[in-house]
């Protein structure tokens, strides 16, 4: 029968005000011994503020959790481990997905027991409710903004497709066209690849251009440029 491996996490914010991390580690070790668990490692953030999500030993603990280096994570109290309820729930969800139990000694929460699992389920339901309320508030804000006539999202850009196709027909590169017209390279490429815009440019007598096309006479062959396949052809000039 395999022995349960436990990882202990402890933290104190300061070291010059009489705070001693050994108080936490001693009681946690005694608890682990009473349960017959094997100590897999000690993760101690000494003199590290709990206001930070990222802490050296906490990061190492989470990395080792993904490596399945232990079966249980034990802490002295919630606030020694997590900076907020949402942070705690994210960690608990990660541990649950990895099959790792969580024990908080002071709050007497132990997800290896039915009661502890129930507490975790309740906390998860509360977190889901909070996320739903935030989503609903965001949607209500969007509806309110639209009702007031506000335009949401990125501002639309008027694209001069004929000029883009004309410059391309003159042999200018995408970068040169983008720099001259003040567009991004992606917008220039997208415009040239847009059949509707490119078709309007052809009607204006600007050719050739690059973009998706149907090869009806099988005379044109695709070629590769800069690692991407670009289809090029010369459109028939308009009368």
The residues assigned a catalytic role are 13
Q: The dihedral of CA 207, 212, 215, 221: what is its sign?
A: positive
For 171-225, give the DSSP string: T--HHHHHHHHT--HHHHHHHHH-HHHHHHHHHTT---EES----SSS----EEE
* 3-state DSSP assignment of residue 77: coil
| Residue appearing with tokens 């006539």 | 149
User: Are 111 and 103 spatial neighbours (Cβ–Cβ below 8 Å)?
Assistant: yes
Q: Is the dihedral angle over the CA atoms 198, 201, 205, 209 positive or is it negative?
A: negative
Measure the CA–CA gap between 143 and 157, rounded to whole angstroms.
Answer: 24
Give whole-number Cα distances, 34 to 31, 77, 228, in Å: 5, 18, 63
């Amino acid at each position: 029968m395999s022995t349960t491996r436990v990882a202990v996490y402890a933290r104190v914010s300061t070291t010059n005000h009489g705070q001693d991390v050994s108080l936490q580690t001693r009681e946690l070790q005694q608890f682990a011994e009473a349960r017959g668990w094997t100590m897999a490692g000690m993760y101690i953030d000494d003199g590290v503020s709990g206001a930070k999500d990222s802490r050296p030993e906490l990061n190492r603990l989470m990395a080792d959790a993904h490596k399945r280096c232990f079966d249980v994570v034990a802490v002295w109290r919630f606030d020694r481990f997590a900076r907020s309820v949402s942070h705690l729930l994210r960690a608990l969800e990660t541990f649950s997905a990895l099959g790792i139990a969580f024990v908080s000694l002071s709050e007497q929460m132990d997800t290896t027991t039915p009661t502890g699992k129930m507490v975790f389920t309740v906390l998860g339901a509360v977190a889901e409710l909070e996320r739903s309320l935030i989503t609903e508030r965001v949607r209500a804000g969007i509806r309110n903004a639209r009702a007031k006539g506000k335009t949401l999202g990125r501002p639309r850009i008027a694209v001069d497709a004929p000029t883009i196709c004309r410059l391309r027909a003159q042999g200018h590169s995408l970068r040169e066209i983008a720099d001259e017209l003040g567009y991004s390279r992606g917008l220039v490429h997208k415009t040239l690849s847009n059949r509707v815009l490119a078709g309007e440019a052809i009607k204006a007598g600007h050719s050739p251009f690059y973009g998706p096309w149907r090869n009806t006479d099988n005379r044109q062959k695709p070629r590769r440029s800069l690692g991407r396949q670009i289809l090029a052809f010369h459109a028939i000039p308009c009368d």
